[in-house]
Amino acid sequence: MMNLIRKYNVAAPRYTSYPTVPYWDENSFALEQWKALLKKSFREYNQREGISLYIHLPFCEKLCTYCGCNKHITVNHAVEVPYIQALLQEWQLYINTFEGKPRIREIHLGGGTPTFFSAENLQMLLDGIYQHATLLPDAALGFEGHPGNTTPEHLQTLYNLGFRRISLGIQDFDIRVQEIINRVQPFEMVAEVVKHARATGFSAINFDLIYGLPLQTACGMQDTIDKVMQLRPDRISFYSYAHVPWIKGVGQRRYSEADLPKDEEKRRLYELGKKLFARNGYTEIGMDHFALPGDELFIAAAKGQLHRNFMGYTVSHTSLLVGLGASSIGDNGYAYVQNEKQVAAWQTMVNNGRFPVVRGHMLSEEDILLRGHIRNLMCTFETSWRKADTQCDAIMEGLQRLQELEQDGLVSVVPDKVVVTPEGKPFIRNICMAFDARLWRKLPDSQLFSKAI
């Protein structure tokens, strides 16, 4: 296994979309055409599926040095209301474009730190969103909470607004690791938030853990997971640390690669975590996720209904995803867009009545086909091109690239179908790369992505 890890531990996308953002064809993107496709998507999918809404709340009081998210560091909470007002103005731009009232199937509050905002201001934001939409009875609503500032008032307010899932960024309970990544949060603090969340009525609690962080050890990982098991979250996201200081800058330069677990050691941390999760009743779901049998991801995976989009794995299969806020990404099924990343510039565009879109990509027929196959691999570990409308030349090219992966026992290729073997699951990003036609047609001059393993 270690030989395969060394062989395949190359830079690889995480495939929350295809094409991946660095390979969007921005030159052929046209804002007016995107608006027309947005209207078309709304007509096609709103009544049948509803829509998903991702709201980016970028503010944090401190910089967590491992973080790769778009964030704005400040202790000035006066930024909250102007930002929310701009979010609601951006939402109004979409309302004015849609030909009807949106039916919301899913909302995710991401960050940054959504609980940087007061409970009162989150209430104002969501009241403004709901005012112009219908919230479906089975809508899936979740938010990312920081253990250090998620209060009982936050929990009660969001619960009253329909939220049932909370995701807590734990990362690691080893104090040495917490200090070097600038995210000190004792076990007792996390336990208190979990206790209040369950008492409030939250039915789905997710912990984010990361392996490969600076100063991590197997002993520390064992202790972290032992503590996690005392709290028994419904789902665990177990992410590989992406060390990309040339992209993320000063935060990840606080430590050097000498502080990071080496490839084999990092993989052992993952295998240790995976073994401990299984021993405690968690099942591996897709890539990076482990869930208890009652969790909605577990149920969706068992039924073959797992879905993946820019928000990661989800049970809500909506073709229209609206992204609000600085740096948010939207997907209408025919095109992708990304908002301006800088908060001040994003607010200026919105306040001037403009969609704050600064880049986009119109999906070609080939893109749509390959996106489907890559999504199948990420969600079900297999894909088929038996039907004529799922075939294209790029699939045949991908099969040639799969030959070495098949020789190494990572996939099984039969006529019109590829299946990922149990041994191949840790290499799912490499397997998806075989079908990434845009990547192979233009190999990057420099490293754009984190390592695959």
In tens, the pLDDT along 331-387 reads: 999 999 999 999 999 999 999 999 999 999 999 999 999 999 999 999 999 999 999
Per DSSP bridges, beta strands 103-111 and 134-145 are: parallel
404 among annotated binding-site residues = no
For position 68, what pLDDT does the model report? Answer: 81
Per DSSP bridges, beta strands 307-309 and 283-285 are: unpaired
68 among annotated binding-site residues = yes
For position 342, what pLDDT does the model report? Answer: 96
Whole-Å CA distances, 100 to 37, 97, 256, 431: 15, 9, 53, 41
DSSP type of residue 197: H
208 among annotated binding-site residues = yes
User: Which residue type, as a one-letter code, is found at position 22?
Assistant: P
111 among annotated binding-site residues = yes
CA angle at residue 336 from 333 to 342, to 5 degrees? Answer: 145
3-state DSSP helix/strand/coil % of the chain, to nearest 5: 45, 20, 35
171 among annotated binding-site residues = yes
For position 144, what pLDDT does the model report? Answer: 96
Spans of the chain, pLDDT less than 50:
246
For position 325, what pLDDT does the model report? Answer: 98
Q: If phi over 0 gives left and psi between -120 and 50 gives alpha, with beta otherwise, what is residue 423?
A: alpha
242 among annotated binding-site residues = yes
For position 113, what pLDDT does the model report? Answer: 95
249 among annotated binding-site residues = no
Nearest CA to 372 out of 390, 357, 358 is that of: 390
Q: CA–CA separation, 240 vs 335, rounded Å?
A: 29
CA angle at residue 244 from 111 to 114, to 5 degrees? Answer: 5
Sketch out the chain's domains with CATH numbers.
17-324 (3.80.30.20), 365-443 (1.10.10.920)
60 among annotated binding-site residues = yes
* CB-based contact 453:263 (threshold 8 Å): yes
43 among annotated binding-site residues = no
User: Which residue type, as a one-letter code, is found at position 44?
Assistant: E
The pTM score is 0.94
* CB-based contact 293:281 (threshold 8 Å): yes
392 among annotated binding-site residues = no
54 among annotated binding-site residues = yes
For position 25, what pLDDT does the model report? Answer: 94
Question: Could you count the other beta carbons within 10 Å of the beta carbon of residue 182?
Answer: 14
Q: At how many degrees (to 10) do helices 187-200 and 218-231 cross?
A: 30
User: Which residue type, as a one-letter code, is found at position 337?
Assistant: V
183 among annotated binding-site residues = yes
For position 246, what pLDDT does the model report? Answer: 47
112 among annotated binding-site residues = yes
Q: CA–CA separation, 177 vs 215, rounded Å?
A: 6
